[in-house]
């Protein structure tokens, strides 16, 4: 299994996030014409760390909660916060999942391709063992 599949499994586990269907939780990107609300995530900056004799890895995960309105994006973000937890996902053990910050981008109202939805971005540090 990959870290990306484990992160997606964490976000879709149980019914913690009920404002966004599991099929709209994607790694990397969302097509501009696709349905809202949606969640996208990316993993980056993976590094090797050692705690005692156990080799662990740490990665930064950025999660975008995308919706028509800022309030809807923030509500999805609250559910994402509840879903980001320690546990075993797709056989990868998440030992620590720590929020590092967030940012809110309001929607851009315009014609055609210039219009953009609201985006609530959360950043997490994940310490895991494969």
CA distance 65 to 112: 21
pTM: 0.90
Give the count of beta carbons closer than 10 Å to the beta carbon of residue 5. Answer: 14
Domains of the chain: 3-129 (3.30.2000.30)
Q: Say how far residue 108 (Cα) sits from the centre of its chain.
A: 22
Give the count of beta carbons closer than 10 Å to the beta carbon of residue 110. Answer: 9
**93-115 pLDDT tens trace:** 999 999 999 999 999 887 766 67
Mean pLDDT for 17-25 is: 94
Give the pLDDT of residue 90: 93
């Amino acid at each position: 299994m990959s870290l990306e599949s484990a992160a997606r499994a964490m976000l879709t586990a149980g019914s913690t996030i009920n404002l966004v269907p599991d099929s709209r939780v994607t790694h990397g990107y969302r097509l501009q014409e696709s349905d809202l609300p949606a969640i996208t995530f990316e993993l980056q900056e993976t590094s090797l760390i050692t705690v005692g004799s156990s080799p662990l890895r740490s990665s930064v995960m950025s999660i975008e909660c995308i919706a028509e309105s800022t309030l809807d994006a923030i509500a999805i973000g609250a559910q994402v916060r509840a879903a980001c937890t320690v546990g075993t996902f797709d056989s990868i053990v998440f030992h620590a999942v720590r929020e590092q910050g967030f940012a809110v981008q309001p929607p851009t109202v315009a014609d055609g391709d210039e219009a953009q939805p609201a985006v609530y971005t959360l950043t997490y540090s994940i310490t895991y063992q494969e």
